[in-house]
Copies of this chain bind each other. A is one copy, B any other.
Amino acid sequence: MMKRIDAIIKPFKLDEVKEALEKLEIFGMTVIEVKGFGQQKGHTELYRGAEYQVDFVPKVMLSIVVDQKKVEPAIEAIVNAARTGKIGDGKIFLSDVSECIRIRTGERGPSAL
């Protein structure tokens, strides 16, 4: 069984999280720039001397499909690398992936990761 880990983190933590995952020999991942809404409030911005509230916070979403057995180590690595202790550190969501195909070779299953 394969699992998909979607981790939403602070953008400047990307490099550290990536390194932490590489230590676990997880070399494949896909990164998406997203905007987050949550408990962390956006900042205020100026427009000609008037302030307005910016609701969203720039975040980065990592999408990593791993073999079941790497899920827990991966989560732990991400949590440790991405944590600053301040509101807005982000979330990790886990879901099932029923199949994986490597386009180049057509091979399927965990070995295609």
Report which A residues bind B (CB closer than 8 A).
3-4, 7-9, 18, 27-32, 34-39, 55-56, 59, 61, 63, 65, 75, 78-79, 82-104, 106, 112-113
A32 to B3 CA separation, bound complex (whole angstroms): 21
Task: Specify how many copies of this chain sit in the oligomer.
Answer: 3
A104–B92 CB distance below 8 A: no
Candidates B29, B65, B86; contact of A93 at CB < 8 Å: B65
Q: Which of B3, B30, B93, B98 contacts A8 (CB 8 A)?
A: B30
Residue ID in chain B nearest A8 by CB atoms: B30
Query: What is the CA–CA distance of A84 and B68 in the complex, to the nearest angstrom?
Result: 30
Q: Is A30 a contact partner of B59 (Cβ separation < 8 A)?
A: yes
